[in-house]
Structure 1
Amino acid sequence: MFERTAGSYIIGLLKEWNVDHIYGMPGDSINEFMEEMRKEQAIRFIQVRHEETGALAAAAFSKLTGKIGVCLSIAGPGAVHLQNGLFDAKKDKTPVLAIVGQIESTKVGTDNFQELKLEAMFEDATVYNRRVQSADQLPDMLNQAIRTAYAEKGPAVLIVSDDLFSEKIKRNEPQTSAIYAAPKLRPDEEDLADAARLIKASKKPVILAGKGSKDAVAEVLAFAEKIQAPLIASFPSKGIIPDEHPHNLGHLGQLGTKPAEEAMKQADLVILAGTAYPYRQFLPENAPAIQIDIDPKVIGKYYPATVGVASELKPAISELTARAEPKDSDFLSRLLEQKSAWQADLQADMDKETELMQPQHVLAEVQKVLDPDAVVSLDVGSVTIWTAKYLKLSQQKFVLSAWLATMGCGLPGAIAAKIAYPNKQVIALTGDGGFSMGMQDFVTAVKYDLPMTVVIFNNQKIQLIEHEQKEKGNEPTNVEIANIDYAAFAAACGGEGYTCRNRTELSDALAQAKQSRKPVVIDAYVEDISPIS
């Protein structure tokens, strides 16, 4: 009879699922599992200073790699701290596993120290949410949690009383397997025929491509070229759809470009390729639409789809390309002229000399040092809009909190990126507001020797909120934030820090950061100007 502790069994299963690291913080309701982790060399434990960092990093790791990200916490306060990262994973549809401790199994329900109703608390944040009742259940429930996280593209929470990890499990053979068999969804012939007819009838088709294009970039580009259609990239697909591709007009909406806006105004057919773009006000009033998505639930959810194609994007778009006939290029040519003028204006903004350094100057300098295979982790705020406008990505990887848009995601994303891709350049772009929400975990990057560059756009203000307050006709209030010497903070953590007030200082600091073997903070003071004109 095979016998070992439930905790040891779980470690073995995690390895079968190819989990090689876990983010978390030890504590009294997870200590028996930590004892099993102590004995294990194949799974690296990344000790964070705040569980929110761990959950956000797990989500970012999953977004970057497609693999499940794993985090853990104690019961009570630690579990509460996970919520933000788990909601981020759910909204951005990426698999995450959270192993959450609970008080002793014999005391659950007695309102004991740090006991919360965790199942109720996590219900809205997860695609799988169960409390383990006995040690014997644990292996099979772990397999089910991970399988569900992959299948439903979201976070799974497994709540385990710590004493269960130390109990012995006796088994002759496994009852379930650590396998997820991903479905291969192919397009329906009738849907393809209907879509092809719409494409043939259109004179001004526009393709709005999303992160579903990740495994179909060449096919999407070939389709755009075949039908001479302008491409608009949803912001989460930045770095997937190359910014420099001739057909790419940029992004849409608040983060977008005038040429992209104009394309949508004129479009007589919208082709939503791997995106459930939610901002109806930026899409045409009544143009027909083809929506291709692997998730049937989102087809027609935000825009009335004339034809829905439930399929992986690659085979569907390949079929439509084969059936399509070349189109007249006048529509595209006029938009590309506008794109050229728009880019010239952006370049003039980056080249202009000003008394104080401006945000676009920072991005121009970052662009110069950005490796072709770098990873960019972007925080939320006005820095998001500046980056959308001025930073060009081609084959670089890009990670952000898209749907939840939670400030403080930039540093956890960079930590996850460096763990996922230790030999690649990693740059985090963040405002001073976003960075200061979770800056304590810069020391985590130092502790685990994760060289990265964190560029802080420092204007001592929550600038995007100020803009929103003004837009509503209100007097801006409580948007100024107290300044911190972020360079000194970085040095105090054991990293490197540079304070930059002009482009020369910034250029020098970025060059030194690129050569450094330590995490680096570049505190770039920027003029207080709105990114939205």
Structure 2
Amino acid sequence: MSTTENSIRKRPVSRTAAEAILEQLDLYGVKRIYGVIGDAIFGLMDAIAKQTKIQFIAVKHESVAAMMASAEAKCTGALGVCAAQMGPGLANLINGLGDAYLDGVPVLAITGQAPLKKIGTSYKQYINQQELVQAITKYSQIVVHPDAVIDSLTKAIHTSLTMDTVSQLSIPADVFTMQTIVPSNEPITLTEMIPSMERLQQAQQFMRSAKCPMILVGNSVRPMDSKIQLLAERWGSGIVTGYGAIGIIPDHNPFNLGGLGEGGNPLLTNLFRQADVVLSIGASWWPEGHTPTNARIITVQDKQMELGNGMPMDCGIVGNIAEIISQLISGLESHDMNQNWIGQIRLCKQTWSIQNEREGNESGYPLHPSSIVRAIERCTSPNTIITLDEGDSTLWFMRNFRAQCEYVLLSSHWRTMGFGLPAALTAKLCMPNKHVVCITGDGGLAMVLADLLTAVRYQLQITVIVLNNGTLQMEQNKMVLKGLIPEGTELTNPDYIKLAEACGWDAYKIQSKDELEKRLKTRQVSQKPVLLDVPTAQVEYPNYQNS
């Protein structure tokens, strides 16, 4: 190649700042941007319309856009991106951004801002965006020149990916359409920490000394399920799942004791308190009142910042979790398991299995929540993605659902109502060949009803199961338990069948448990999204914590 040809190829290409943003996002593998259009992002929308690599998913409310970006990050481990108008657009994003922030997943929010000459004035919808999002971001910046877009965007992306957090960029409306010749940056390769041999040896020493061992797993260890099961067998340990980590270990595993705390195995707390060594793997939740007081705690995480996240710790190991588990397994080759402890694990599991089976066979109409969960369980295959809302429907699911390794997606720490439907929409976009089922209460669905239309717009064949009891059951029951009058807990619901059909869905009012199972088994016949309205008994959940 001649020098002239080489110089021509390296000549900087002029394009708008918005086009440069899309070019950079594409290099990081971004496929979708979720959002609602507004005049401050017209330049970005124009650039999206002129290319085909990144799809804009137009939703009905910015909160849904941010929840969908968070759900994509949870589904894929990659960067989720949302975009919105300045002022109220950004304010509406905050709920979903809070979910991503507290659940520790990488999300980038791009928001328009007032034109450059109006920054700091009384211009409509103007607010200091960096101050507004300070509590739920690790990086937030306003970009005031087109040549600063690439560097600011790269830093935002890098911050989100390396810290599993939320970043936000404010871009004045006129900057989007300004020209820049600054080239895109090559994606940064993320390096893994090498675990400390001293810490590994200390952990192995703790584990070999254990007489009553337990493993606590979080959502991040889903790909390591077989290794964790082998570790439990080698160590003679029970396996306990943190909040929402249901489905990582199949229920039929003899060491799997289910969930800990309010949404889990009610018999587990007494056994877990007896543990003398707890190995916490990828977990970020330690339910007060359900845990041992004198146990040695070993914590395994893939990032340094995730150590000391509110859980006690005697030994912390950071690095590739799968490799760390393999080394811990190798350190137990001649371990003498405590057969008495294994017997207690089996008794706890067997006793709860009998009780769980009985709960799932509850009869009557409206349907008991446990019987609804059992019907869903019988009609769900192991490769199904199940998205959960927040409220009683989630607690009953986590209590009674006997998982086969389904992928469960929920708002784990932020625990926002309305998460189920947006997460289901995203899951189907990310994994179109998977069956996606959303389990929600009538209160949670009511918050995001407009985005039933989003499923139709993008032809997303999901199934939504509405546990409809006409009340915010969790809030009502907890207020009563506290001796308070449950004001504001009764709901005024629409006719969900007519509403869903008006939006282009197939919808059915369920009259019995048998009909629910029939509809779940035949839902795949429909070419439309399907909504099942399930009249649900107002039953007090039996394991409410006093919180």
TM category, shorter:
over 0.9
User: Could you tell me which residue of structure 2 aligns to residue 199 of structure 1?
Assistant: 207
Moved more, 31-40 or 318-327: 318-327
Equivalent residues of 1:501, 1:526 under 8 A apart = no
For structure 1, which runs of at least 5 residues remain unmatched after alignment?
Answer: none
Number of residues of Structure 1 aligned to a counterpart in Structure 2: 530
The alpha-carbon deviation at position 530 of structure 1 amounts to 1.3
Runs of 4+ in 1 over 6 A off after TM superposition: none
Structure 1 residue corresponding to 2:166, chosen from 141, 152, 155: 155
Equivalent residues of 2:428, 2:460 under 8 A apart = yes
Instruction: Percent identity, please.
Output: 31
Structure 1: how far apart are the matches of 2:109 and 2:156?
Answer: 9
Pair 1:287 & 2:295 matched:
yes
Equivalent residues of 1:418, 1:450 under 8 A apart = yes
Structure 2 residue corresponding to 1:217, chosen from 225, 250, 258: 225
User: Could you tell me which residue of structure 2 aligns to residue 349 of structure 1?
Assistant: 359
User: Could you tell me which residue of structure 1 aligns to residue 4 of structure 2?
Assistant: none
Superposed CA offset, 1:142-165 (max 9, x none): 111111110110111111012111
Equivalent residues of 2:254, 2:349 under 8 A apart = no
TM-score by length of 2: 0.94
TM-score by length of 1: 0.96
How does 1:179-328 map onto structure 2 within 5 Å? 179-324=187-332, 325-328=335-338
Structure 2 residue corresponding to 1:48, chosen from 27, 39, 59: 59
Structure 1: how far apart are the matches of 2:331 and 2:295?
Answer: 22
User: Could you tell me which residue of structure 1 aligns to residue 116 of structure 2?
Assistant: 105
Pair 1:137 & 2:148 matched:
yes
User: Could you tell me which residue of structure 2 aligns to residue 503 of structure 1?
Assistant: 513
User: Could you tell me which residue of structure 2 aligns to residue 337 of structure 1?
Assistant: 347
The alpha-carbon deviation at position 436 of structure 1 amounts to 0.3
Letter paired with 2:341: F
Equivalent residues of 2:244, 2:398 under 8 A apart = no
Moved more, 270-279 or 33-42: 270-279
Structure 2: how far apart are the matches of 1:283 and 1:416?
Answer: 35
Structure 2 residue corresponding to 1:3, chosen from 5, 9, 14: 14
User: Could you tell me which residue of structure 2 aligns to residue 421 of structure 1?
Assistant: 431
The alpha-carbon deviation at position 404 of structure 1 amounts to 0.5
The alpha-carbon deviation at position 245 of structure 1 amounts to 1.7
Structure 2: how far apart are the matches of 1:195 and 1:79?
Answer: 45
Structure 2: how far apart are the matches of 1:180 and 1:487?
Answer: 49
User: Could you tell me which residue of structure 1 aligns to residue 27 of structure 2?
Assistant: 16
Structure 2 residue corresponding to 1:478, chosen from 488, 499, 503: 488
Change (3 A) 1:109 1:471: same
RMSD value over aligned CA atoms? 1.5
Superposed CA offset, 1:18-64 (max 9, x none): 11111111111000111111111121111100000000011001101
User: Could you tell me which residue of structure 2 aligns to residue 490 of structure 1?
Assistant: 500
User: Could you tell me which residue of structure 1 aligns to residue 386 of structure 2?
Assistant: 376
User: Could you tell me which residue of structure 2 aligns to residue 513 of structure 1?
Assistant: 523
Structure 1 residue corresponding to 2:78, chosen from 67, 71, 74: 67
Letter paired with 1:160: I
Which secondary structure state, in structure 1, belongs to the residue aligned with residue 181 of structure 2? strand
Structure 1: how far apart are the matches of 2:115 and 2:37?
Answer: 16
Structure 2: how far apart are the matches of 1:267 and 1:280?
Answer: 15
Pair 1:392 & 2:402 matched:
yes
The alpha-carbon deviation at position 507 of structure 1 amounts to 2.4
For structure 2, which runs of at least 5 residues remain unmatched after alignment?
Answer: 1-10
Equivalent residues of 1:268, 1:287 under 8 A apart = yes
Letter paired with 2:438: A
User: Could you tell me which residue of structure 1 aligns to residue 417 of structure 2?
Assistant: 407
Structure 1: how far apart are the matches of 2:100 and 2:456?
Answer: 25
User: Could you tell me which residue of structure 2 aligns to residue 28 of structure 1?
Assistant: 39
Which secondary structure state, in structure 2, belongs to the residue aligned with residue 184 of structure 1? coil
Structure 2: how far apart are the matches of 1:55 and 1:96?
Answer: 8
Letter paired with 2:189: A
Change (3 A) 1:298 1:7: closer
Equivalent residues of 1:143, 1:178 under 8 A apart = no
Which secondary structure state, in structure 2, belongs to the residue aligned with residue 106 of structure 1? helix
Structure 2: how far apart are the matches of 1:113 and 1:212?
Answer: 43
User: Could you tell me which residue of structure 2 aligns to residue 464 of structure 1?
Assistant: 474
Equivalent residues of 1:25, 1:49 under 8 A apart = yes
How does 1:436-475 map onto structure 2 within 5 Å? 436-475=446-485
Equivalent residues of 1:56, 1:86 under 8 A apart = yes
User: Could you tell me which residue of structure 1 aligns to residue 371 of structure 2?
Assistant: 361
Letter paired with 2:361: D
Which secondary structure state, in structure 2, belongs to the residue aligned with residue 250 of structure 1? strand
The alpha-carbon deviation at position 298 of structure 1 amounts to 4.2
Superposed CA offset, 1:500-523 (max 9, x none): 132133223223323212111111
